[in-house]
């Protein structure tokens, strides 16, 4: 045994040494290259040469860097110098489910599959940086961009972002985690200055980025548009120089968001590496080459020539850029990539199936038996609306998008399916929504007519990817459903009580009809396989196991960000203060005893589960220990299913305010009918610490902690008390 351990030790040493040697030789090569570059060549590498690329150095064989959005598929090619599509015919992709859906799977293994598949597509399309994933914390249900993020909990977002990065980067494509940081609303995103406490910053908004850097080893990060504490995020001394590159040791490239650079000197000194999308339009301006006027182009050149800034500042940026290139487009052994394979569509479907959340299921309304001959009325614009287009930079040109109506038609062949739009949202053209030309009354009447004839009604509605909906560039204006849907649902209920709602959205919505409908399914935006995955769940071919990655409040004011004045949301136009502090999402609902409509971590199944024999390995822990919780989970129903066991902790007597519950571990378990599995969940004791702003470090207080084990933040089955010394 000892011998074996020694051999393992030697092997680890050899591989560590090999890695060090490789790194040393890469560092040496980088230094050699930098010596050969002119200042102009170096600066050219630090800013865009087109909408989505930056220059290489042709005379030395150093390639250009090509980037693409992200994060749900590889975006269609964009023109060299405008936002128009380039019009290629070979750039249709697999559209994967939105990141809210991925987060709702609570399944890090699926996150890896997602990353690997999208990375393969990016690689095939010759992209070096994939602009995603996004991990801005869900602070308000009005944020137009929540659908691109991973929910309201820093632990969940951290656990889900890391495997995505690994999957992407195995392809020799850099993931670019965005938007660093505090871009938690789209309204005024280009200038709003966020003020918040150090605790909120470190406990809520930074952890997923830190995990991306330290565990995900991500090769690039995108800076956010907004300001934090008076400085723009893309050149923010505290966020970039101190935290990202200093404390966390990030060795990759900080890319701006498009047009998020504002100052040459700050950009040079406070950590920006590549400037993209600055508001010059090259072709139509009278300037010869607009890209030379970027903050990090001629203006920086002049500052270096005048001695105001040292050239070594640029060398450090180029060093990072070349390191990224050795990992991507100068790595000759990276794989070739794959596009639109059946495997990719299968991954998209699997994630969609596992992310769909069943919120309500009165009298087992679902699953609907596909063999039964009956009339089903499908009402709602979202039953047929393409959701991969629109939404801003995450728009996709996909090879196919199965609509909910199509998916249901295919699976429910014996049913008589009637369909009516019911309402119309109107098209969105370049950020403006054009009123629909369709007559609202006749749409409604048509819907009521089919509803009255049907055995069951499936209302397929929610939000869409238009401006002021789930869309980049601004926030939703209302918490309620748009386009008269609430009124329509209540009218439908008058003619047919057998009605359920299929909600397609990336955000929580108000549900005034919640008590009257028989069922509610939250399906997010599911990409290419939307209709298939929805039909899989409605028919019972797949037992739903998604869990909400954010809380659904009853009304908007129940959400923490909206419980204060306008300075909290949306700000006064210049500044914004996160007044709820660390009490974001369920931390707010639980601590303030404001019951959510649907809680973080909640989601029903067609079977039932029981947790038993919950134990911790000890009752008292030291700082360096790991708490190990073991339990048995049993499927007590008649069909197979998955359940997510969640552990929340509470510091019973703390010297500062601490949330009543904080997620610290979870595990998804697959179980056959009547099967029982034993599982363990681990929490390093140090993760019970809070961020102490008086010492600007994490502090673990001794005393009693409660470990709450359950199936959602509101469904705690067992509480264990432990001590920390
Ligand atoms: C978005 C980024 C995106 C970039 C490039 C910006 O408007 O905020 O997320 O990657 O555009 O399309």
Per-residue pLDDT of 337-358, as tens digits, reads 999 999 999 999 999 999 999 9
pLDDT score of 284 more than 80: no
Mapping DSSP to helix (H, G, I), strand (E, B) and coil, where does residue 647 land? strand
Report the C-alpha gap between 627 and 643 in whole angstroms.
22
> Based on the domain organization, do 76 and 213 belong to the same domain?
yes
556-564 average pLDDT score: 98
Beta sheet of 609-616, edge-to-edge order = 609-616, 626-635, 676-684
Sheet holding 253-255, edge to edge: 53-54, 65-69, 129-131, 174-180, 220-223, 253-255
- The verdict on 225 and 107 lying in the same domain is yes
Minimum-distance ligand 1 atom for the alpha carbon of 148: 9
Does 516 lie in the same domain as 634? no
In a domain, 531, yes or no: yes
Mutation test of ligand 1: which of 69, 135, 226 has the most ligand atoms closer than 8 Å to its C-beta?
69
> Which residue among 131, 147, 185 is best mutated to probe the pocket of ligand 1, counting the most ligand atoms within 8 A of its Cβ?
131
Whole-angstrom Cα distance, residue 53 to residue 55? 7
Give the Cα separation of 262 and 231 in Å (integer): 10
Protein residue with its CA nearest to atom 3 in ligand 1: 393
Q: How far apart are the C-alpha atoms of 482 and 509, rounded to whole Å?
A: 10
Q: Which atom of ligand 1 is nearest to the CA of 183?
A: 8
Residue 592 maps to a domain = no
Residue nearest ligand 1's atom 4 by CA = 258
**Domain shared by 612 and 572, yes or no:** no
User: Does the pTM of the predicted model rise above 0.85?
Assistant: yes
Do 566 and 575 contact (CB within 8 A), yes or no?
A: no
Region 280-307 average pLDDT: 82
Centre of ligand 1 from the C-alpha of residue 79, in Å: 15
Q: What is the pLDDT of residues 137-169, one digit of tens each?
A: 999 999 999 999 999 999 999 999 999 999 999
- Domains of the chain: total: 4
User: Which residues, in sequence order, are CB contacts of 470 under 8 Å at separation 6+?
Assistant: 144, 145, 146, 147, 391, 463, 464, 476, 505, 506, 507, 525
Domain-ending residue, one of 525, 556, 587: 587
Taking the centre of ligand 1 as the mean of its atom positions, its distance from the CA of residue 257, in whole angstroms, is 6
pLDDT tens-digit profile of 88-121? 999 999 999 999 999 999 999 999 999 999 999 9
Tell whether 378 and 498 lie within a shared domain. yes
What CATH number should be reported for the domain holding residue 650?
2.60.40.10
> Can you give the pLDDT at residue 460?
98
Give the CATH number of the domain where residue 347 resides.
Answer: 3.40.50.1700
Tell me if 539 is assigned to some domain.
yes
> Do 363 and 251 lie in a common domain?
no
Residue 337 lies in a domain: no
Q: Are residues 362 and 254 in the same domain?
A: no
Q: What is the pLDDT of residues 376-408, one digit of tens each?
A: 999 999 999 999 999 999 999 999 999 999 999
Angle CA(142)–CA(144)–CA(148) in degrees, nearest 5? Answer: 120
Contact 416, 375 (CB under 8 A): yes
Query: Of ligand 1's atoms, which has the minimum distance to the CA of residue 393?
Result: 12
Residue 468: the pLDDT is 95
The band of 10, judged by pLDDT with boundaries at 50, 70 and 90, is: very low
Residues 77 and 183 in one domain: yes
Percent of the chain with pLDDT over 90: 92
Q: What is the mean pLDDT of residues 706-710?
A: 98
Catalytic residue list contains 257? yes
**Which ligand 1 atom sits closest to the C-alpha of 78?**
12
Domain boundary among 587, 620, 643: 587
Residues 362 and 303 reside in one and the same domain: no
Residues 153 and 279 in one domain: yes
What distance in angstroms lies between residue 68's CA and the mean position of ligand 1's atoms? Answer: 9
Give a yes or no: residue 594 inside a domain. no
- Is 600 contained in some domain? no
Report how far ligand 1's centroid is from the alpha carbon of 392 (Å).
Answer: 8
Position 335 in a domain? no
Q: Residue 525: inside a domain, yes or no? A: yes
What is the C-alpha separation between 352 and 93, in angstroms, rounded?
Answer: 17
- Mean pLDDT score of the chain: 95
Do residues 570 and 509 both lie within one domain?
A: yes
Give the sheet arrangement for strand 499-504, strand by strand. Answer: 357-361, 519-522, 499-504, 456-462, 375-379, 416-420
Which tokens hold the place of 510? 């108000």
- Among 327, 354, 384, which residue terminates a domain? 327
Catalytic annotation, pick one of 257, 292, 470, 651: 257
Q: Kindly calculate the radius of gyration of the chain based on its CA atoms and give it in whole angstroms.
A: 26
Residues 475-506 have pLDDT tens digits of 999 999 999 999 999 999 999 999 999 999 99
DSSP 399: S
Region 431-459: mean pLDDT is 92
Give the model's pLDDT for residue 697. 98
- pLDDT of 430: 63
C-alpha closest to that of 418 among 463, 361, 377: 377
130 alpha carbon – ligand 1 mean position (Å)? 11
Q: Which residue range is the domain that position 19 belongs to?
A: 1-36
Give pLDDT tens digits for 618-673: 999 999 999 999 999 999 999 999 999 999 999 999 999 999 999 999 999 999 99
Q: How far is the CA of 393 from the centre of ligand 1 (A)?
A: 5
Which atom number of ligand 1 is nearest to the Cα of residue 70?
A: 10
Tell me the pLDDT band of 359, cut-offs 50, 70 and 90. very high
CA distance linking residue 36 with residue 14, whole number of Å: 33
Instruction: For residue 591, give every residue at least 6 positions away whose Cβ sits within 8 Å of its Cβ, in sequence order, or none.
Output: 583, 657, 659, 660
Check whether residue 26 and residue 52 sit in a common domain. Answer: no
Provide the CATH number for the domain around residue 277: 3.20.20.300
Find the residues whose C-beta lies inside 6 A of ligand 1: 69-70, 131, 178, 257-258, 393
pLDDT tens track for 562-612: 999 999 999 999 999 999 999 999 999 999 999 999 999 999 999 999 999
pLDDT, residue 12, reads 53
Nearest residue (by CA) to ligand 1, atom 7, is 258
pLDDT band at 126; cut points 50, 70, 90: very high
Residues 689-704 as b or e (16 or more Cβ within 10 Å = b)? bbbbeeeeeeebbeee
């Amino acid at each position: 045994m000892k011998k074996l351990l020694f051999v393992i030790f030697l092997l680890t040493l050899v591989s560590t040494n090999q890695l060090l040697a490789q790194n040393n030789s890469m560092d040496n090569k980088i230094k050699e290259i930098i010596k050969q570059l002119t200042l102009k060549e170096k600066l050219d590498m630090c800013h865009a040469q087109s909408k989505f690329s930056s220059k290489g150095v042709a005379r030395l064989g150093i390639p250009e860097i090509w980037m693409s959005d992200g994060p749900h598929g590889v975006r269609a090619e964009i023109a060299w110098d405008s936002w128009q599509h380039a019009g290629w015919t070979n750039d249709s992709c697999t559209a994967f489910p939105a990141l809210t859906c991925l987060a709702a799977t609570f399944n890090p293994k699926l996150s890896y599959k997602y990353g690997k598949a999208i990375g393969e597509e990016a690689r095939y399309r010759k992209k070096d940086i994939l602009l995603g994933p996004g991990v801005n914390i869900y602070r308000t249900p009005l944020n137009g961009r929540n659908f691109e993020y991973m929910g309201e909990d820093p632990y969940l977002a951290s656990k889900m972002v890391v495997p995505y990065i690994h999957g992407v980067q195995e392809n020799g494509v850099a993931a670019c985690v965005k938007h660093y940081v505090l871009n938690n609303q789209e309204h005024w995103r280009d200038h709003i200055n966020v003020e918040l406490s150090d605790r909120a910053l470190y406990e809520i908004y930074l952890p997923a980025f830190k995990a991306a850097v330290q565990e995900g080893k991500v090769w690039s990060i995108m800076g956010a548009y907004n300001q934090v504490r008076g400085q723009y995020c893309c050149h923010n001394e505290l966020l970039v120089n101190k935290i990202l590159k200093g404390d966390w040791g990030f060795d990759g490239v900080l890319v701006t968001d498009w047009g998020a650079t504002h100052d040459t000197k700050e950009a040079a000194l406070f950590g920006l590496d590549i400037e993209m999308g600055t508001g010059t339009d090259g072709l139509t301006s009278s300037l010869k080459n607009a890209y030379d006027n970027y903050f990090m182009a001629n203006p920086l050149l002049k500052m270096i020539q005048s001695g105001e800034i040292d050239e070594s500042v640029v060398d450090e940026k180029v060093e990072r850029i070349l390191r990224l290139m050795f990992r991507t487009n100068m790595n000759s052994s990276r794989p070739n990539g794959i596009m639109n394979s059946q495997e990719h569509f299968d991954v998209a479907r699997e994630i969609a199936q596992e992310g769909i959340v069943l919120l309500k299921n009165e009298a087992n309304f679902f699953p609907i038996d596909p063999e039964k001959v009956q009339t089903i009325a499908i009402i709602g614009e979202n039953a047929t609306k393409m959701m991969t287009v629109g939404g801003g930079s995450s728009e996709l040109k996909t090879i196919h998008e199965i609509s909910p109506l199509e998916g249901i038609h295919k699976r429910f062949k014996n049913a008589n399916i009637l369909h009516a739009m019911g309402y119309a949202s109107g098209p969105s053209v370049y950020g403006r929504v054009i009123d629909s030309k369709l007559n609202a009354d006749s749409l409604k009447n048509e819907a009521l007519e089919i509803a009255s004839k049907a055995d069951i009604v499936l209302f397929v509605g929610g939000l869409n990817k238009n401006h002021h909906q789930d869309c980049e560039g601004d926030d939703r204006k209302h918490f309620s459903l748009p386009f008269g849907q609430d009124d329509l649902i209540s009218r439908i209920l008058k003619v047919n009580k057998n009605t359920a709602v299929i909600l397609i959205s990336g955000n929580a919505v108000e549900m005034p009809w919640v008590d009257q409908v028989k069922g509610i399914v939250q399906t997010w935006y599911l990409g290419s396989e939307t209709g298939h995955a929805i039909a899989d769940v409605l028919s019972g071919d797949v037992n739903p196991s998604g869990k909400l990655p954010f809380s659904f409040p009853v009304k908007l004011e129940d959400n923490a960000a909206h419980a204060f004045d306008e300075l909290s949301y949306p700000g006064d136009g210049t500044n914004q203060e996160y007044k709820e502090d660390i009490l974001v999402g369920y931390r707010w609902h639980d601590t303030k005893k404001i019951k959510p409509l649907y809680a973080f971590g909640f989601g029903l199944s067609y079977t039932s589960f029981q947790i038993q024999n919950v134990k911790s390995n000890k009752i008292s822990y030291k700082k360096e220990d790991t708490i190990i919780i073991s339990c048995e989970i049993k499927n007590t129903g008649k069909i197979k299913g998955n359940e997510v066991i969640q552990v929340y902790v509470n510091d019973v007597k703390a010297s500062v305010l601490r949330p009543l519950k904080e997620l610290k571990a979870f595990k998804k378990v697959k179980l056959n009918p009547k099967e029982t599995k034993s599982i363990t969940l681990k929490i390093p004791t140090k993760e019970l610490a809070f961020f102490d702003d008086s010492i600007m470090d994490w502090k673990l207080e001794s005393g009693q902690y409660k470990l709450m084990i359950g199936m959602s933040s509101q469904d705690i089955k067992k509480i264990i008390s432990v001590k920390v010394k």
